[in-house]
Each structure stands twice: as C-alpha cells, then as structure tokens.
Structure 1
C-alpha cells in the first residue's frame, strides 16, 4: 500500500495551521485550516494518544504556549489542548524520552535579554540508548549537546565552538561507523560536516 504524505503549514500572522493533503505525485491540495494560537511558530506531527492517527503540537510564540490538536484520521483535528509556558516557544521536537512508550515533547524558548535557542535536534550521540539534545546558541556561535539519562533529566552538556552563527542542523551517521554525526548550516550560505569521533 502506497502512503501519501500530507503537509502542515503554520501561518504565523494569521494564528492558523493550514492542512494540505498529498496525492503522492508531489502535488497537494488545501483541505482546511485550524486555529492554533497566537503567532504559531513551529509544528511537529506524531501520534500522541496511540490511536494510529497523526496529532499536531504547535509552538505559539506570542501566546507563550504549546497547543496539542488530536487528529481523527481524515485531515481534521479536535479542539486544542493548551499548555501554558512562562516563555515564548520557538521550536519543538518529539520522542519517547523516558522510555515509557508514550511520546513526549520538548520546546526551546526565546526571551528578551537571554541567549536564544533557535534550533535543535534529538538523537543518541553517545550510544547509551538514551536520547540526547543538540541545540544552537545563536549569539555565542556554538552548539551544545546535553546528554540524557532516560528520564526527564540531562546529566551533562558539552559545548562546541564553531565561530559562525548556526541556522540549521541535521543528524545522520554519515560515515557508517554507528556514531551519530551532524551537519550544520550557517548564515554564510554554506554547511559544515561534524563527524562524531569521540562520543
């Protein structure tokens, strides 16, 4: 059975998320929209409640909240559940961080007069079967890896100075050594490859 992927687009200035259904031939048609929150900034889609339907979590930057919308399997979503934050969420990621068979989500936040975390990714860098988090510290021109312990805590962190402002990140085992590497993009219109040789 061929699975056609669909598309979600956050419309920040309209506080909406647009749903586009895919035909499997690189074309999409807009099906509907739903209200997410104030200044919808980032989206992740995953099955939160184990019903085999894709749900959506949305970071609402100006609303200082993350909203979760449960899907019913036909491209529509139920009324949102709102999780209030003390700061403005800028990015989201999901995975089972504490090994309880339930999908969790994490968010990074931006505030005035603080270091902004604008992008991050999740993977097992030190091969201990616990998820770690790598994120950019934009103003400091560096990346930081925080190592997870399988609960909701992070044991330690390691800072990598790159002397350039990072604006994108992707994770993959690039040299087939069973270690997770990463590629970063930055503001000078190129990218750099970082091979994991010591974690």
Structure 2
C-alpha cells in the first residue's frame, strides 16, 4: 500500500556562527545503528560530524568507504585549494591515525567519488577537475595506497562540477557520468574491461543550463540506470532515461520557478516503491520534492520551507528509526544544518537547525567506529580541514573532530582502501592539486594523511573498482 510521508519542524535555541555550511551526507559512523551527519563548513575551513541519537535531534564534497579493508569506515575529501585529495583511515580513540594526500597537480579537484569500478575488491577514486577540465582515476591497491592518476579530458571550458558512477550499458563494467557546468552537457565515459575508459560522449542539457549535480537511479522500473540532473542556469531538474547501451534520452524537465537548484537526490519518500526526487535550491527558502510515477515522469513540486535563502545540499536517512525517511539540509546563508523529520503524508516537520563552524562544502557518511551508527565527515574549504562527527543513533551527534587536509579541500568520499574492513577517507584538494587519503582505525579516529599528486585543480572525487586487478601499481 502507498504510504505518504510528512516531516515536522523542531527548532531549538541557536548559537549563530558564520560557518557557511555547503554540503552534507549521512551514514552510521560509530556503529550504533543511528544515522549520523557530516557537514562541510565553507567559511570556517573545516568539516563537522554530528553523531546521531536516534530521536530526530540532529543538527560542499566528501565520500566514505573502507579503503584499507580493515572493517572500519574511512573518509576521502577533495581539496580545491591545494590540488589534492585526502584519505583518512584507521579511526580509533576519536581520531584518524593515518592520512594520505594524493597530488592532483594543478587540476583543482572539486568533486570526489569512491566506488568499486573494476571489481578487484580494491576501492578506486575518481576526481572531477575544475582547473584542467578533466576527470582523474586513482586505482586502489587495497592497502590504502593508490597508483598515479589516469586522466581523461572533459572538454575545453567544460568546468566539471560533479561525477557519479554506474553501469550504463549493462556490460558489467562501471561507467562515469560528469556534470559539465561550462559546456552545458552531461559527459559519459564508458568503462572498458582493461580498466580504461572510452572517449567522452556528451548529452546537451540546453544553452546556459549549467548542470550542477547528478544522481543515478532506476526512475522508470526498466532495470536500466537513469540520471537526474540539476540545471543551475535553467532553474530546473532534468530526467535522462537510460537506453541500456550507454546512451540516454531526455524524458522531461521540471521547472523550479525562481529557485536555482544545487544538489539532487533519489529516494522513495512515500513508500510506493517508485523513486522520487529531492532537490535543494538557492533563492526560495525551501527544498523541493517531486513524487515519481514509476514511468520516468514526476508530479507537481512539493515545497518545504527551510528558513534559509540558500539551501545547497541535502542528504536522506532515517534519523529517528520510525521507518520514515528524513532529510538533512545545508543552509549556507544561515550557516547551519537543518533536520526535517518525515511524517506520513509526504510532508516534513519544520526543521531543527544546528550551527556549523567554518566553510563546509561537501559531506559524506559512514560508520567510522564500528558501532552500527552512521557518522558524518565534512570538508572545510577555507580551513584546509575535514570534520568527523560520530553518531549516537538517535539523530544527534558528538562534537566534531578536525583533521588537516591539503589546500582548499572540496569533495570527500569514503571507502575501505586497505582491505582491513575499516572505512577510510579520501579528499580532493583543489588548492595544491592533490588527493589526501586518511586510513581509519575503526574506532572513529583516522591516521595522518597520505598525499597523491593529481592534475590541475581537482574539485571532485569518486571511488570505485575500475580495473579488477589484484597486483599493485606504483604510487607517488
């Protein structure tokens, strides 16, 4: 049966700081079965992790994963200012023991993505490089170290902002999709069986559309992956339905009125087994939900007030264990995180806001201390740091723990890079063109960073198993 979803607002007394939070993600970082939140604070140059208590009281890129296979979640962050990616691993005793920095040269990495792209049990990293208009892949060795990057151009003046992965042509090889803000296209790089990628093919999103972010999911129930795109310039959300051969067709665009969208997510909010869309916006003091019909089309906009003029990022999770999906949003103008708890009629309670230190820009989630509760990691652009907040499992989080990254960290991703079953962190550092890897100890702490050089201006990073190989590659 179809169940509607509502959210209610819980607003505590606030302490206001000009932290300018930009992005967040959700995960169980301390293994307590409660979702936690990680936030990037753009102005304060750090990331913050709020550990969840499970009662809904929880307060722009990072990613999480077990990079060293020690059973503990690690974190990866992209650093725009230092052109690097950080990986934080071996989280124990409330800190990360190891941190690795991967240089991206002058690439200005702005987005980072971590996933298994080559099926060799070692997580790999992908960065979207704003400075060199390219995407770089760091193949993982499975011990927390990485090979020198393989870089693929995304086109002159493409200025890629985001990258996601999926098998778009059903050949059991992972492919990449890239939001090219400058050239108004979505770029597709199809994966080959030898760990390389084909030349980018592009799909136009329209003149001056400026695609900003991407999400991948099954939007029309045909077992073929589809893509949802936020177009910042056209102020709409666009749905691209997959044909199953690596090509896509435009299904429809949905105008957001005066709102300029940033992030987009895919989830089933009303429990009807059909995927819905959620988007953050700038200029309208709300977030937007579009309920899916299961055929690739969506209903009218449903707006939820955030009290913020610039809500730029959103993450979805069940923060209070009531079987309803909740939302966490980044409010950059009020420098806060808002928690909106889901109700039963596709609505949300009024949000509870939590102030955020610094200038967060990206967020990821994972269980960093093996307590089955989701924790949060956030990159802080101006402070050259990332913040980890351990979740309590009831919707609340512990105080943040701060780790040094490269210069101007952007995106962060999480995975097990050294095959120890513990999650590690990787960061794209745009300022010094590096990638930082921090190995997790499995207790919520991470090791000092290890750095790897990239191309120019890496801004985004992703992880995945791209090469399906078990041998090691040389690491810089």
Q: Same fold (TM over 0.5)?
A: yes
Q: Which moved more, 1:106-115 or 1:28-37?
A: 106-115
Q: Which moved more, 1:84-93 or 1:9-18?
A: 84-93
Looking at structure 2, the residues matched to 101 and 13 of structure 1 have their Cα atoms a distance apart, in angstroms, of 36
Matched, 1:31 2:275: no
2:399 is paired with a residue of what secondary structure?
Answer: strand
Looking at structure 2, the residues matched to 67 and 51 of structure 1 have their Cα atoms a distance apart, in angstroms, of 19
Matched, 1:103 2:331: no
2:382 is paired with a residue of what secondary structure?
Answer: helix
Match of 2:233 in 1: 13
Q: Larger relative contact order (C-alpha < 8 A, sep ≥ 6)? A: 2
Matched, 1:158 2:401: yes
> Which string of whole-angstrom CA distances, capped at 9 and with x for unpartnered residues, describes residues 126-170 of structure 1?
111111111112111111111111122112321112242111111
**Shift, 1:46, TM fit:** 0.8
Answer yes or no: is the 8 Å Cα contact 1:90–1:118 preserved in 2: no
1:124 pairs with one of 367, 370, 381:
367
**Shift, 1:102, TM fit:** 2.2
Match of 1:41 in 2: 262
Query: RMSD in angstroms over aligned alpha carbons?
Result: 2.0
Matches within 5 A, 1:18-97: 18-37=238-257, 38-87=259-308, 88-97=310-319
147 and 165 in structure 1: CA distance in 2 versus 1, 3 angstrom threshold: same
Answer yes or no: is the 8 Å Cα contact 2:387–2:400 preserved in 1: yes
List structure 1 segments (4+ residues) > 3 angstroms apart after TM superposition: 112-115
Match of 2:387 in 1: 144
**Shift, 1:112, TM fit:** 7.6
> Which string of whole-angstrom CA distances, capped at 9 and with x for unpartnered residues, describes residues 35-82 of structure 1?
235111110101111111111110002223111111110111111221
1:156 is paired with a residue of what secondary structure?
Answer: coil
- TM-score, normalisation: structure 1: 0.91
1:175 pairs with one of 386, 400, 418:
418
Aligned length: 199
- TM-score, normalisation: structure 2: 0.40
**Shift, 1:2, TM fit:** 7.5
**Shift, 1:180, TM fit:** 1.2
Matched, 1:3 2:223: yes
Answer with 1 or 2: which has the greater Rg. Answer: 2
Answer yes or no: is the 8 Å Cα contact 2:406–2:429 preserved in 1: no
